[in-house]
Structure 1
């Protein structure tokens, strides 16, 4: 763009009259609630500002009945211990018990001139009646958890600006019997809502089935025209690289213009992006909504958006406005646009689909996501933290499981920011929707295959949710459901009508493990396994070529367990033997919190002596399991596999399985093992054939790399196995050299440590991998009797909220093994959460140092934190942070 054109654009924009100072605001405080049985008034009377709300409860909105009860201390925390059993379940109380009125008084003056005021409810579960100032806004009862509501409230605003909104919310119907099945007895799936609330194998039932105004309530002010549902499609032709000059990309943009007034309105729809202005003259008829297509636009030298590990996550600000009279803004919408093009192609060799982004093939390393919080307590900060953890695991995709919801816009904003592609399921699951014969289900398979009851509501909800999230660059794949398709008419509507018309750019999978996603010639497609496995299994056993669910254990350490288990239940499981049924003796509280057995896999480290010892040894297994899982898949990249998605990477409840961090956002060793195994450029050791391998996910070859392989015994004595110049081609995995004889000889008696490094020509380490290998009997006898080492450690603040910790191990000492760093409160010594570590559970070689970065948000008024360091053979250290002070 020339300087002249740029100045002209600035002058044009400066002449535009802005909207009122507060165009949109959220009604997120000051709500009150009461059970319907205790409210004698009807909605018309209750919603008048003069009606007294004596004795009403402060309500949580966005929230649910249960979150309001919890905030008012009417129920105990259902995430702790067995407290959930102390809360009445709606199946037994009846629906009226959890049917509540929610009331909010707010100030908003009547609109002047052609001004319009709109009320938006982004999510109510399950049905509701909405009243404002004595007037009922919805002519018919609203149904459906996933259908947004918008009301023009301009005629109903009070003349004095004092308004009252009253919403009565009814629970799902039926609520389902929480009989221990997946989705309970299955009938919760008759609704268009979340299915997990009746219980699953990773959660106990949510007692109110999440009844409430669970998502944002906002007031929006416009003039005559309401601009809504903008749609931006970016096209990036050809095969691109993240760096270097870029050929042009193009934008196709549409928007809906709603005119609620009695006369036609003429004006200009326009948007700006990258300093360029695109315009379209429009006339919108009275009482009509018009879809407007903007002129095609070309972006020269675009900054492209890439998934994590492949390139930067560039985003453009796009402002869209409707103007009348050439300069008066009627309404505007602001978007963040990632310029990228999605694609997919069938890989004949693997017999699975291959994801393409900007013309390049992407090896999928993903995690399955349930929901951020089982009680729907969503925040932008929590979304950001959780997606950042996924970025830190070197993953590039998150799949949203079908028993939950289409995630909130704030989730997608975080995925755009951190480069996580999203595979989004719609709301069915094989467990509840009839894929299998299941004696715990109330109705037969034929009946369950037709769930939900209202197919039109499902289709309308899908159309609405597609519009809500379709502009996010991270949204990559739509999926009909979890392990099953929706009913035929819904499936047809999705794939033949809704998605082509409302999106038209993304791959649609009929269900999560469909043959169109991957096909195993030995027996079709599938998923799993879900439990702990021998390390060699991940490398040697060929599973589904694009596995949508494969996972393992994930129990946290003792400090994590203490957050939700009473002291009396902090009892380590005891392995009873493979022939025993059950194989482990487990505290009943652990069973309630869905513990998955570690079986015999802790025993090679020595049977756990107590709960702290169990937690530590579980972390060793966690690290090894998830590093091996991703290394095993990566070692067969484009040969056996085009991707895998871990089941699962997080829990929205205090479950004890399949998690890289706990509900309270405290990471465990799973996260850092997965982080290592998922490195874009990664050196690794194949335990099956003892080959050293390199996997390179990047689009360019990496040349002049020095491969350094060293072994260390338990006393710290180093043996150099090899040092050789290597080259890693683009997007490949390759075997380089066998080290079986050396490893077997050195580790026969006590096991050994194996250090693998890739260094560049400046001796900078570009990939580092550190293994602990068992002795000839498969036990870690050397670790069990390993001498201690006195690590020197320092911590200093590098910026507000950022700390660098350096660990130094003396020369001649043994390896300082498996050190867990934590940022803690100096008074309580409890961990500050969340904290993001550049690495953790780190080992430091003799005579070497390692620096780990910590990133956190300081809390106002809190004392300066200290850093805790504790390792397998390193006594606990508490380090003051040089330069840190209270915020």
Structure 2
């Protein structure tokens, strides 16, 4: 595949994502009258501009030689869109871009200018300019006036300026912002966070490089988050706050006892006179209000009386119930009965609880009184260059929903995620474990020769502790209304310094968001008592499957992971053809191509070899998917097998990459899923039968709140030619949120697998004989090789498809009796002209195997902008050559 420019790829991808979102709700607060300044920006480097901000922000100043800029965005994004740098996500291109550590900060210091129209409001009307994030410091000018009295600093600290008196009567206005990079950009010397000095500021740490990413050359300098113009009456509503309390133990179905709603908001009165009016909060047609008089030039927090919401529809995590959200709003109504301002938000009625489980020695999370076995994924950031979109957030969180996970941890070397991320988590029922901006690597936990300063010095990072606390308080206010937010965490693998931790934990958090659990750091003993030594999380990298089942690791493991190479189509997107070279492994050592190494390949060691000698990179990538599926199915099954005994939760390191990395991902940067996702989806399903590879025990995991009775548990063995043997079947009962062992099958299974390996199938059927779960293992021979797979007969599977809605297809794979297993089939929707996959596409299942005499159906949802004549269905499998088929109507 030729290297396409990243901007064109992303533009195409964004359009495709948008077509999948039939009704994406927006859940964050929205002002009554606001619009984004998200296009038409111009920019120039400081070295080319000798004028002052007062001059540049005058509408008459000539911008003819200035370049188009990306806002929200970074300097690097702007340079990329102007074709001044190559795509840093492709091949070794990142090495061709100048690094700020070498060039100096001025090289990436830029002016950004935007002309916009807004008229001077009548009477007491007000206009505000709001910045949601600038990295790292800036000065702001409007129509010849400087708005900030001192340099604004802090990547995560919002800014809001009342610009009413600076507006031009003509309605033509110009905004000019000079943006300075972080004060300490750090040396990207290959360490975690480079030499660590990037952590001296209150900002993102991964930009100096990590073991899963190369450095971002501009350190993400820019106006990286949204800029809005907001018009109100005399009073502006800011930082609304809604708390829901759900006493007792609830069930998702049936009538509910009342929930308690607490609502408050800050009211800004910028006038030099007092203003009287009423703050009103409305939810489900219930209103609560309070009359207030606001003093001149003041900001006042107004708390409304608590009230009961009768028979509420509750918000539940993924897999346990509906994620219901109530549209609601705050309004301030002035004494003359005019709406001065309103803020809309969606409220999920739920309560997060936590208790310490003394049996497992770890925290146990509950929602609405029901304990939840945590199955989570670690999240870095959506895009390493901060190119965030609502649609991409929705797609990525949807993938996590599709994995049957119930929590996402936002890692501490990145950011407090944006409201748009939380919107998607609210929508899909994903709990969120949110770190603050601290990491053990950069902030001094370990002795590290890569670091520029000693541990004692790094332990004091960042330099400005008050800025950290101010930014933390602001970030809490930004996202605290989201139902999905469950846990706040002081830092990744280390606490913030004591004079940050104590006020954050004991003052700021109780005052601003006192209903959520705050843990001091991600692998703290307060979360998960570490009696095993080491760091308190891991292991990382590929593991024997037995490790997940028989090695007792940390009881609430915040990071444990494995491999994640995508298939060949994924590799071709960012690895040049000449570098698509098979990684070598022999005698306990590996050898890998330089581009693979640059993109942080993590070794599969000897795990590919049992499937046969690798022919080329395509063969390697295809066989890697078998390993991927097995690794993540085994990981979740192993933890589930010790649910509430050894463990209360597990969070995979990690489920996604914001860059084209070759490790730890269920889908690639371009939103193309690999087999990791579907192995995880299988193992995490609500009701699941699983086989212990060590003991041979067959067990059932019930991930629901209900007792499941009259279930038929069926165990079958199928050889490489399709001969099927029923080993046993019994009726079983599964208690709520539990794992129970039922059948010791090791001797029988080993006998069938001895010569060539065997397909072992576990099925669960309900009382109506409906198949509700099927789990197919491919087990090696007694030598640990998949000798039978290597000589397996060709698949005889028949494939049909039908279009069930625009952009939605149902595909059915039917395998005749007396045929071999149709093994490990990958389905894709591809462009009819170039046969490239449409992304993102969502599959109800994939990498599926079909037993002889049975069939499986998969529902596929793809960008609906593509007409039926533009797409084809691609199906290929272990014993099936790729077929390209038209989709039936």
* Fold shared per TM-score above 0.5: yes
Q: Kindly provide the CA deviation profile for residues 616-672 of structure 1, in whole angstroms up to 9, marking residues without a partner as x.
A: 110000000000000000000000000000000000000000000000000000000
Picking from 672, 683, 687, the partner of 2:678 is 672
Moved more, 871-880 or 621-630: 871-880
2:475 pairs with one of 461, 465, 472: 465
Map of 1:715-794 to 2, 5 A cutoff? Answer: 715-794=721-800
Out of 591, 602, 615, the residue aligned to residue 596 of structure 1 is 602
Cα distance in 1 for partners of 2:124, 2:610 equals: 76
Confirm or deny that 1:372 pairs with 2:378. Answer: no
Give 1:746 deviation, angstroms.
Answer: 1.1
Q: Distance in 1 between matches of 2:534 and 2:216?
A: 35
In the alignment, does 2:199 pair up with 1:193? no
* SS of corresponding position for 1:599: coil
1:701 CA drift (Å): 0.6
1:687 aligns with 2:693: yes
CA RMSD in angstroms comes to 1.1
Secondary structure of 2:880 counterpart: coil
After TM superposition, the structure 1 stretch with the greater mean CA deviation from structure 2, 229-238 or 318-327, is 318-327
C-alpha separation in 2, matches of 1:529 and 1:860: 43
Separation of aligned partners in 2, 1:789 and 1:68 = 50
Matched, 1:89 2:95: no
Mapping of residues 142-541 of structure 1, within 5 Å: 142-325=152-335, 327-523=337-533, 526-541=536-551
Give the match for residue 9 of structure 1. Answer: none
Distance 2:194 2:50 in 1: 34
Equivalent-residue separation in structure 1 for 2:605 and 2:225 (angstroms): 41
Q: What's the secondary structure of 1:464's corresponding residue?
A: helix
After TM superposition, the score normalised by the length of structure 1 is 0.96
SS at match of 1:875: strand
Is 1:707 the counterpart of 2:732? The answer is no
Give the deviation of 1:847 after TM superposition: 1.5
Counterpart Cα distance in 1 of 2:868 and 2:776: 37
Q: 2:40 matched to which residue of 1?
A: 30
Structure 1 match to 2:887: 881
Asked if residue 47 in structure 1 is aligned to residue 71 in structure 2, the reply is no
Contact 2:252 2:321 in 1 (8 A): yes
- TM-score where L is the length of structure 2: 0.96
In structure 1, distance between residues paired with 2:219 and 2:31: 39
Post-superposition offset of 1:357: 0.7
| Aligned 8 A contact 1:43 1:136 in 2 | yes
Count of residues in correspondence between the two structures: 860
Contact kept, 8 Å, 1:515 with 1:524, in 2: the verdict is: no
Where does residue 115 of structure 2 map in the other structure? Answer: 105
Alignment partners' CA distance in 2, 1:437 and 1:236? 46
Are the equivalent residues in 2 in contact too, given 1:577–1:600 (CA < 8 A)? no
Asked which structure has the greater RCO (Cα within 8 Å, sep 6+), the reply is 2
Secondary structure of the 1:832 match is coil
Contact 1:36–1:96 (Cα < 8 Å) also in 2: yes
Unaligned runs of at least 5 residues, structure 2: 1-29
Q: Confirm or deny: 8 A CA contact 2:120 2:171 kept in the other structure.
A: yes
CA contact 1:171–1:209 (8 Å) conserved in 2 = yes
| Cα distance in structure 1, aligned partners of 2:57 and 2:160 | 18
User: Residues 828-861 of structure 1: CA distance to partner in whole angstroms, max 9, x if unpaired?
Assistant: 0000000000000000111211110001222367
Change (3 A) 1:694 1:524: same
| SS of structure 2 residue aligned to 1:123 | coil
Stretches of structure 1 that go unaligned for 5 or more consecutive residues are 1-19
* Change in CA separation of 1:52 and 1:860 when aligned onto 2, cut-off 3 Å: farther
Which residue, out of 72, 80, 103, partners 1:62? 72
Aligned counterpart, 1:557? 567
SS in 2 for 1:241: coil
- Are the aligned partners of 1:518 and 1:525 in contact in 2 as well (CA < 8 Å)? no
Measured against aligned partners, the alpha-carbon deviations of 1:299-341 in whole angstroms (never above 9, x if no partner) come to 0101000000111101001111000136310000001100001
Which range moved further: 794-803 or 124-133? 794-803
Contact 2:532-2:554 at 8 Å conserved across structures: no
Which 4+ runs in 1 deviate beyond 6 A? Answer: none
Residue 648 (structure 1) aligns with = 654
* Cα pair 2:194 2:208 within 8 Å, conserved: yes
Q: Which residue is 1:117 aligned to? A: 127
Specify whether residues 209 and 21 from structure 1 end up closer, same or farther in structure 2 by C-alpha distance, changes over 3 A only: closer
Please say if residues 832 and 872 of structure 2, whose CA atoms lie closer than 8 Å, have aligned partners that are also in contact: yes
**What secondary structure, in the 3-state scheme, does the structure 2 residue paired with 1:876 have?**
strand
Give the C-alpha shift of residue 863 in structure 1. Answer: 4.6
Indicate which of 634, 637, 647 corresponds to 2:643: 637
